[in-house]
Amino acid sequence: MHEHDVIVVGAGGAGLRAAIAAQEAGADVAIVTKLHPVRSHTGAAEGGINAALRDGDDWTDHAYDTMKGSDYLGDAPAVETLCKDSPKETIQLEHWGMAFSREEDGRVSQRPFGGLSFPRTTYAGAETGHQLLHTMYEQVVKRGVTVYDEWHVMNLAVTDEERPSDRSCHGVVAYDIKTGSVEGFRANDGVILATGGLGQVFDHTTNAVANTGDGVAMAYRAGVPMEDMEFIQFHPTTLPSTGVLISEGVRGEGGILYNDESERFMFEHGYANNDGELASRDVVSRAELTEINEGRGIEDEYVHLDMRHLGEERILDRLENILHLAEDFEGADGLEEPMPVKPGQHYAMGGVETDENGQTCIDGLYAAGECACVSVHGGNRLGGNALPELIVFGRRAGQHAAGDDLGEPQITTGKSDDYEPAEIDSPVPIGAVDPDDGTEPAAADGGAADGDAVLDTAVEAERERVEELLDSEGINHAEVRSEVQETMTANVNVFREEEGLKQALADIRDARERYQDVGVSDPSRTFNTDLIHTMETRNILDIAEALTVGALARNEFRGAHWRKENQIRDDENWLKHTLITWNDGQPELGYKPVILEGEDKTYEPKVRSY
């Protein structure tokens, strides 16, 4: 058994920042990650980091833009924390040596991004995430933080009291990919989930193959509510054949979208008469798909993004990476021709419910970054707001887990007083097929057993699961995974309607039942990716289902979530967060109100036009 004060799961931007912060606060911290840190998908972020750094800009403007962008589903205390802390955290990265693009006077460059009232997106070419990830990993190396790389975390060691908010987390169980050994990692002060995105729930995504939402699924099964899972961002400019991301920076620098009739449709068809291509991402994605559905798409599949008029010099200076991506992954020369683009799954606004300090309702369990829902993005994340979330809330979670006092959070977690229970209208049973299938959070008998006993029990349960999977003969998990991905892309995409969502729930149920017969055909203990992927597919099933339950429940159109049956933002009924709780295998639905009251003002919902 390994033992540390703080265990961070995942080593992208949020995980690395949390580890650095926890260590600075005096904790003995270790990172457990299924990839080596520099392989994390933060490295693929392109655009930049929103931070109010300059004269004429102010964190309150950033907060206003973010609340509006969220379609008034962001919680004001979280949004204000993000916008207040971002300048300091961004400059902290500069002080760690990050290679930002520079202005003539030597200061860091900023550029316009969608939905922003000021050009406050601080960037490093079109490779901001790569520079950020490597800069923070350098700091982790410098500080000698322990990293267990290529260890796949299988489960959390959580006690099993009746109410999730009475439970506590004492560590994680992880599988050493290289040797096949299953070990316990005791966390004396806290476990921080920083496992990133869940894009593999869909089949056309900008996310990495590793983005299977493991932390989200583990927290869900341990009893933490999943908040606003239905809010998925579909990025308007992904390459059609691979889902590779073409940064919003292209449009920020002046790139233009055209349909098959060479119309600049964002204006000519009235989708965003003021901001055009730089409207919020959900607006642009819906516009593109409407063009395609109405027959004005190119090859009925995509639209064109043209940046040729920016000129070679500017493109090479600020968007060089885009030229490589378009060339290598779509065979398009961005200097000579427009690039084909279409919407693709990009980001999960929802996730593990936390407060401003990264805490979940389970004592000792934290989440930060994309896997968490604090919630700063609400119904729609603005471009350039993901990276500041990683560094702001990664740091806060790390500090808090290490014992720093960050003040009383204003956001409540778990089933607090204002929790409103609701019914799930599913055509099929949902949740666990067999509640005793060994993926429940393990706990020692008697509830309040000590942490070591809880961890030991969890380790034993996971060792058994590995043996069972290795011994079993059955279908390849890849069949189950693609069944889920296909139905999600067909039915839970940009445009959603009741019938399709119910179909998705039925398909997911079918996939769950098939997963009961899954088998790992590779018998090896050495680097058994068949086994890892099979365990990930279980996570994909649970997440896909929760996401679809949320999408079916929320019968309105807000942010990235559009419903055919009620195509308006319904503030009277829906100024509230969706909460889905695993409830030991029988998922429950409920709501809690959104917090629109900030420190000094209330963000009154307004019509969101761009």
Partner 1 sequence: MSTDAPQTTDETSETSTEDAPAEAPSAGDRRRAQKQERAAERAREEAEAEAAAEAAKNTVHLKVFRYDPEVEGKQEPRFDDFHVPYEKGMTVLDALMYARDTYDSSLTFRHSCRQAICGSDALFIDGSQRLGCKTQLSDLDMETPIRVEPLPHADVVKDLVVDMEHFYEQMEAVEPYFQTDDLPDEELEEQRQSRENREKVKMSTRCIWCSACMSSCNIAAGDNEYLGPAAINKAYRFAMDEREGEEMKQKRLEILEQEHGVWRCQTQFSCTNVCPKDIPLTEHIQELKREAVKNNLKFW
Which of the residues are catalytic? Answer: 235, 251
Nearest C-alpha neighbor of 391 from the set 144, 136, 149: 136
Please say which residue, 44 or 392, places its beta carbon nearer to partner 1.
44
Output 95-104 pairs: Cβ under 8 A, ≥24 positions apart: 96/135, 96/136, 96/138, 96/139, 97/135, 97/138, 98/124, 98/131, 98/132, 98/135, 99/124, 99/131, 99/135, 100/124, 100/131, 101/125, 101/318
Stretch that binds partner 1, among 13-21, 94-102, 458-466, 581-589 (CB under 8 A): 94-102
Point out which span in 126-134, 162-170, 216-224, 466-474 binds partner 1 (CB under 8 A). Answer: 126-134
Q: How close are the terminal C-alpha atoms of the chain, in Å?
A: 54
87 is a site residue for partner 1 (CB under 8 A): yes
Least distance in angstroms from the C-beta of 298 to partner 1: 13
146 counts as binding partner 1 under rule CB under 8 A: no
If one asks whether residue 507 binds partner 1 (CB under 8 A), the answer comes out as: yes
Site for partner 1 in 27-66 (CB under 8 A): 35-36, 38-41, 43-44, 53
Q: Is 323 in the site for partner 1 (CB under 8 A)?
A: no
Per the CB < 8 A criterion, the answer to whether 430 and 601 are in contact is no
**Binding residue for partner 1, selected from 188, 452, 495, 566, defined by CB under 8 A:** 495
The yes or no reply on residue 500 touching partner 1 (CB under 8 A) is: yes
The count of residues interacting with partner 1 (CB under 8 A) is 95
CB of 108 to partner 1, least distance (A): 6
Position among 337, 418, 467, 522 found at the interface with partner 1 (CB under 8 A)? 522
> What's the CA gap between 443 and 453, in Å, rounded?
8
Other C-beta atoms within 10 Å of 324: how many? 12
Binding window for partner 1 (CB under 8 A); candidates: 18-26, 103-111, 274-282, 585-593: 103-111
The whole-angstrom distance between residue 268's C-alpha and the CA centroid of its chain comes to 33
Strands in 121-122's sheet, in edge-to-edge order, are: 49-50, 121-122, 110-111
CB of 358 to partner 1, least distance (A): 22
Cα distances from 586 to residues 11, 297, 438, in angstroms, run: 32, 43, 15
Residues 435-474 that bind partner 1 (CB under 8 A): none
Of the residues 516, 523, 565, 567, which one makes contact with partner 1 according to CB under 8 A: 523
Which is closer to partner 1, CB of 105 or CB of 445? 105
Rule CB under 8 A: choose which of 181, 262, 529, 573 binds partner 1: 529
Would you say 496 or 608 has its CB closer to partner 1?
496
CB of 450 to partner 1, least distance (A): 36
Q: Which is nearer to partner 1, 501 or 596 (CB)?
A: 501
- Which residues, 6+ apart, have CB-to-CB distance to 346 below 8 Å? 199, 205, 206, 207, 233, 234, 235, 238, 245, 281
In the complex, what is the shortest distance from the CB of residue 363 to partner 1, in angstroms, rounded to a whole number? 33
Only one of the segments 63-71, 130-138, 356-364, 369-377 lies at the binding site for partner 1 (rule: CB under 8 A); that segment is 130-138
- Least Cα distance to 74 among 326, 382, 310, 338 occurs for 382
Cis peptide before 375 (omega within 30 of 0): yes
Cβ neighbours of 374 (radius 10 Å): 31
**Piece of the chain touching partner 1 by CB under 8 A; list 168-176, 205-213, 538-546, 553-561:** 205-213
In the complex with partner 1, the residue whose CB is nearer, 75 or 545, is 545
Of residues 221 and 477, the one with the C-beta less far from partner 1: 477
> What residues contact residue 172 under an 8 Å CB cut-off, 6+ apart?
7, 9, 32, 153, 154, 155, 156, 157, 184, 185, 187, 191
Site string for partner 1, 260-299 (x = CB under 8 A): -----------------------------x--xx------
- The helix/strand/coil state of 562 is strand
Q: Which is nearer to partner 1, 149 or 452 (CB)?
A: 149
346 binds partner 1 (CB under 8 A): no
Under rule CB under 8 A, residue 17 binds partner 1: no
536 forms part of the interface with partner 1 (CB under 8 A): no
Residue among 45 and 174 whose Cβ is closer to partner 1: 45
- The per-residue b/e assignment along 467-497, b for 16 or more CB within 10 angstroms, e otherwise, is eebbeeeeebbeebbebbbebbbebbbbebe
User: Please, what is the Cα angle at 345 between 294 and 109, to 5 degrees?
Assistant: 105
Q: Which amino acid is at 270?
A: G
Minimum gap (Å) between residue 91 Cβ and partner 1: 5
87 or 276: CB nearest partner 1: 87
CB of 412 to partner 1, least distance (A): 31
Among 496, 512, 569, 592, binds partner 1 (CB under 8 A): 496
Continuous H helices in 494-570: 498-515, 529-553
| 554 is a site residue for partner 1 (CB under 8 A) | no
Segment near partner 1 (CB under 8 A); pick from 238-246, 351-359, 370-378, 454-462: 238-246
Q: Cα(339)–Cα(240) distance, rounded to whole angstroms?
A: 10
Does 341 help bind partner 1 (rule: CB under 8 A)? Answer: no
CB of 333 to partner 1, least distance (A): 15
What does the alpha-carbon distance between residue 481 and residue 458 come to, in Å, rounded to a whole number? Answer: 26
Exactly one of 520, 543, 551, 552 binds partner 1 (CB under 8 A); that residue is 520
From the list 28, 161, 452, 497, which residue makes contact with partner 1 (rule: CB under 8 A)?
A: 497
- Pick out residues in 571-610 that bind partner 1 (CB under 8 A): none
CA distance 113 to 235: 13
- Residue 493 DSSP symbol: S
Residue 16 CB, nearest distance to partner 1 (Å)?
13
What does DSSP say about strands 351-353 and 372-373: parallel, antiparallel, or unpaired?
parallel
As a whole number of angstroms, the distance between CA 238 and CA 234 comes to 9
* Phi-psi domain of 48 (left: phi exceeds 0; alpha: psi -120 through 50; beta: other): left
Query: Token pair for residue 367?
Result: 């989440």
- Among residues 2, 24, 60, 91, the one that binds partner 1 under rule CB under 8 A: 91
Give the Cα separation of 170 and 188 in Å (integer): 7
* Closest to 572 (Cα-Cα) out of 561, 560, 559, 556: 556
Question: CB of residue 255 vs partner 1: minimum separation in angstroms?
Answer: 19
